[in-house]
A and B are shown apart, each in its own frame.
Chain A
Amino acid sequence: MSEFLRNWLTVAVIGGVGVLLASVFLGLGSLVRPSRDTPQKGMNYESGVDPQGDMWSQANIRYYVFALMFVLFDVEAVFIFPWAARLESYGMFGLVEMAIFIAILALGLFYAWRKRLLRWI
């Protein structure tokens, strides 16, 4: 197996170590902890009173716009990383290219700002 693939196999193995650690902790706990379930223990916590209504109540997702803008800028970051690593060989050409790219995205941010989308409504 090549060195490259071995690196990624290591990633999978260490991820497994994480799962293992969590399982060992929970497994150890199940040996010593008590288990006396009552209906009251299975209730949700709502500051001491009985839970009211549906648990998955509708919430106002106010950051919908922020999530959209996050996608925009995250994609931008994907493009900037390879450029940043090779900037020395691109020289002035690469710099001007990326300046235009960043300027367009900054314009998008500025537009959202002026449209008052960046306020937490």
Chain B
Amino acid sequence: MNTVVTAVELAYWQQTAIRSVAALVAVLIPAGTLVYLYLFKMMSFMQSRLGPMEAGPYGSLQLLAEVGKFLQKEDLIPRAADRVVFKAAPFVVLVSTFLLVLVLPAGPDLWFINVDTGVFLALAVSSISVIGILMAGWGSASKYSLLGGLRAAGQLVAYELPLVLAVIGVVIQAGTLNMQEIVLAQANGEIFGWGAIGNPFVITQFLGFAIFLVAVQAELTQPPFDMPVAESEIVAGYLTEYSGMRFLLFFIAEFATAGIFAALAATLFLGGWYVPGLDPASDLFNLIGPLVLLTKIVLVSFLIFWFRFTYPRFREDQLQQLAWKVLIPLALANIVVTGVLKVVF
């Protein structure tokens, strides 16, 4: 964390203070970028309209206007609701997002935690949000919410598996679970003796990358996997009874998680903070690493949002069948093939 200012050696509490601010930035900046760039603008252009244009140049301050609007909304809790669970649910979802950002490295010395179980930790904390969503669905004491919560749980559980299994191919190739070492393995790797661009695993693990992206789409409950919040069937699913600030917390968590999952995909498959042609140990990456990572986040999430705006919604049985009959067998085959290639070559 501290070699940008090379000479200064920071105490643990100082590092933690910097990391806390960095975590806020890492959660909110990609989320804001994605909402403005894709949800407001790209979606509008794809639908032949302009999107927000009034607040700031090209509507770029629309986000602040939205937060201001949500701040003024009355805080309504249904009388029948389980108040504690209802209030705790957005906290659980947001904390899950903050824990997810922890494993991402943004440069050789820019990391929140550097643990040997990095990937494993990320996949574990990403499923905490399921609990928050179930709490929201149950605590609202509304039929739409309950149906939405159950649908969400069924979907997130089914797509958790392809997500986890797709990552194993990367772990086999890199030989480590540490995110920092996975980045270095891609930076220093070579494809059959050709090492000019390193070995971004998207080339050798393309199937894994594709499965990962589809599973991420489902984990985010974005169209075409938005059954839990299908507005034409169950109003807004588990979000039905949430309004004002509490709704905004869910919204922030959803798009922050979209950004972080894109960052995970970028780190695992596209080389993370590394760009080809430079020495991965160079101090330069402590400066440009976060920007490189943000660029890759925007690129990966372009795919995610492109799918979101293009495909119609799945039917619930199609959704489950895609996970269990297509993605999981493919992911298992991917593991076996990767393992064989790793041992033979």
Contacts and interface: CB of A to CB of B under 8 A. Distances in A.
A41 B120 CA distance: 44
Given A30-B75, A42-B79, A45-B235, A25 B165 contact: no
A15 B241 contact: no
B88 to A, nearest CB: 10
B199 interface: no
A113 interface: yes
B246 interface: yes
Contacts of A59: 146-147, 150
Contact of B176 (A14, A34, A47, A85): A85
How big is the B interface, by class? 35 or more
Given A56-B146, A102-B332, A11 B113 contact: yes
Interface string B284-312: 00000000000000000000000000000
A35 B75 contact: yes
A10 B16 contact: yes
A25 B249 contact: yes
Interface in B322-345: 324-325, 328-329, 332, 335-336, 339-340, 342-343
A42 to B, nearest CB: 4
Nearest to B142: A44
B142 A55 contact: yes
Nearest to B172: A84
A46 B236 CA distance: 11
A87 B316 contact: no
B142 to A, nearest CB: 4
Interface string B120-151: 10000000000000000010111110110010
A115 B172 CA distance: 33
Interface residues of A, number: 71
Interface in A106-120: 106, 109, 113, 118-120
A14 B320 contact: no
B24 interface: yes
Contacts of B154: 62-63, 66-67
Contact of A22 (B76, B91, B161, B244): B91
Q: Which of A29, A37, A69, A70 has its CB near the most chain B CB atoms (within 10 A)? A: A29
Given A21-B24, A29-B244, A70-B160, A42 B78 contact: yes
B207 interface: no
Contact of A88 (B94, B332, B342): B342
A9 B157 CA distance: 29
Given A11-B102, A17-B20, A95 B340 contact: yes
A29 B235 CA distance: 25
A28 to B, nearest CB: 6
Nearest to A86: B175
20 contacts: A1-B12, A13-B16, A13-B19, A15-B99, A17-B20, A26-B249, A33-B74, A44-B142, A45-B144, A46-B143, A46-B144, A57-B143, A57-B146, A70-B158, A73-B165, A77-B161, A85-B171, A94-B343, A113-B324, A113-B325
Given A33-B75, A102-B332, 15 more contacts: A9-B16, A15-B98, A29-B71, A33-B72, A42-B78, A44-B140, A56-B138, A70-B161, A80-B165, A81-B168, A85-B177, A87-B175, A94-B343, A118-B321, A120-B320
Interface of A: 1, 4, 6-11, 13-15, 17-19, 21-22, 25-26, 28-30, 32-37, 39, 41-47, 51, 55-57, 59, 61-63, 66-67, 69-70, 73-74, 77, 80-81, 84-88, 91-92, 94-95, 98-99, 102, 105-106, 109, 113, 118-120
